[in-house]
Amino acid sequence: MPVVVVATMKAKPESVDTVRDACKKAIEAVHNEPGCELYSLHEADGTFVFVEQWADADALKTHSTAPAIGALFGTVGELLDGAPDIKMLQPVVAGDPAKGQLRP
């Protein structure tokens, strides 16, 4: 069963570019992790939002201890305004099934 995650990080105002660069650097490595179906970065006003979909809970667990994530948080940890907010979500399918849920 796929697992959807939304991870939000707020950069300190002086660190937005550095945080963006670190996130972009991590993406290529994460895309190559087993079970990664979606790992997409979005930004608004210094807030970075990753929308993720993993093949299953095991793939997400592996991702959470992967080198790319360790390097990312090692780089951005002191540059964030507060702790990252990471939520695992369950789909609530409604309307057109093709548009009402993420798909691998």
- Walk me through the domains of the chain, giving residue ranges and CATH numbers: 3-89 (3.30.70.100)
Please state the rounded mean pLDDT for residues 31-58.
Answer: 97
Q: Per-residue pLDDT for 94 more than 80? A: yes
Joined tokens for residue 82? 């507060």
Q: Quote the pLDDT of residue 100.
A: 84
Contact between residue 13 and residue 46 where contact means Cβ atoms under 8 Å apart = yes
Query: At 83, phi and psi to the nearest 5?
Result: -80, 150
Residue 85 pairs in a beta bridge with 8
Confidence class of residue 31 from pLDDT cuts 50, 70 and 90?
very high
Mean pLDDT of all residues in 32-38: 97
How far apart CA 29 and CA 91 sit, in angstroms, is: 26
Phi then psi dihedrals of residue 72, to 5 deg: -60, -50
**Per-residue pLDDT for 104 more than 70?**
no
Of the two residues 103 and 75, the one the predictor is more confident about is 75
